[in-house]
């Protein structure tokens, strides 16, 4: 297994839109294991392939207290079931160190994904998993929590990150 390098804001590679996975081979298993190892080393609760400069729709998450419940989501899709039910969360990001941003996200969603063998799954996530999977899918679309800040705070953050 290997630790991968995490891209940091404002690296333009974080803005690429990731491509769907269509090949369920050994390299996908290696990528997801390397992403999990990298996430654990950095004490994150999630990581999107985009953050390690791999532009494929692969996400890993572990929201357990014991850090012993690794989850892998390939081609994850969230469908909002009730667009009026929003929850606030103070979100951090390994690619945007030093900031926490309060983001409002839909709370009632359906999640569809494939596992590393290419089998379909569906669930109705709850709590932190609902927030985290949406944060990770944002990465796959090239979106960052910095984008939720006011223009003034964004320019201050960019100055700080590039000086």
Where do contacts with ligand GNR occur on this chain (CB under 6 A)? 44-48, 51, 89, 91-95, 131-132, 135-136, 139
Catalytic residue among 29, 65, 136, 141: 136
The sign of the CA dihedral 148, 150, 151, 156 is: negative
CB closer to ligand GNR, 25 vs 142: 142
Contact partners, residue 97, CB within 8 Å, separation at least 6: 8
Position 14 contacts Ni ion (CB under 5 A): no
Q: Please indicate whether residue 66 is annotated as part of the active site.
A: no
Contact assessment for residue 128 and residue 63, using Cβ atoms and an 8 Å cutoff: yes
β-strand partners of 145: none
Contact partners, residue 132, CB within 8 Å, separation at least 6: 45, 46, 61, 63
44 binds, options ligand GNR, Ni ion, none, Cβ within 5 to 8 A by partner type? ligand GNR
Choose, by CB under 5 A, the member of 52, 60, 93, 109 that binds Ni ion. 93
Closest contact distance (angstroms) between CB of 55 and ligand GNR is 15
β-strand partners of 123: 111
CB closer to Ni ion, 53 vs 118: 53
Q: Which of residues 121-160 bind Ni ion (CB under 5 A)?
A: none
Q: Which residues carry out catalysis?
A: 136
């Amino acid at each position: 297994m290997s630790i991968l390098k995490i891209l940091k804001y404002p690296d333009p590679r974080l803005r690429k839109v990731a491509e769907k996975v269509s090949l369920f081979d050994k390299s996908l298993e290696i990528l997801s294991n390397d992403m999990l190892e990298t996430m654990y080393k950095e004490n994150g609760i999630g990581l999107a392939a985009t953050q390690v400069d791999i532009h494929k729709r692969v996400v890993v998450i572990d929201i357990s207290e014991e850090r012993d419940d690794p989850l892998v989501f390939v081609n994850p899709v969230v469908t909002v079931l009730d667009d009026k039910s929003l929850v606030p969360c103070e979100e951090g990001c390994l690619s945007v160190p030093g900031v926490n941003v309060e983001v409002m996200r839909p709370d009632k969603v359906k999640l569809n994904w494939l596992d590393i063998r290419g089998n379909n799954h569906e669930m109705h996530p709850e709590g932190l998993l609902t927030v985290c999977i949406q944060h990770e899918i944002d990465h796959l679309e090239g979106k960052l929590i910095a984008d939720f800040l006011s223009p003034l705070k964004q320019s201050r953050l960019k100055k700080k990150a590039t000086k």
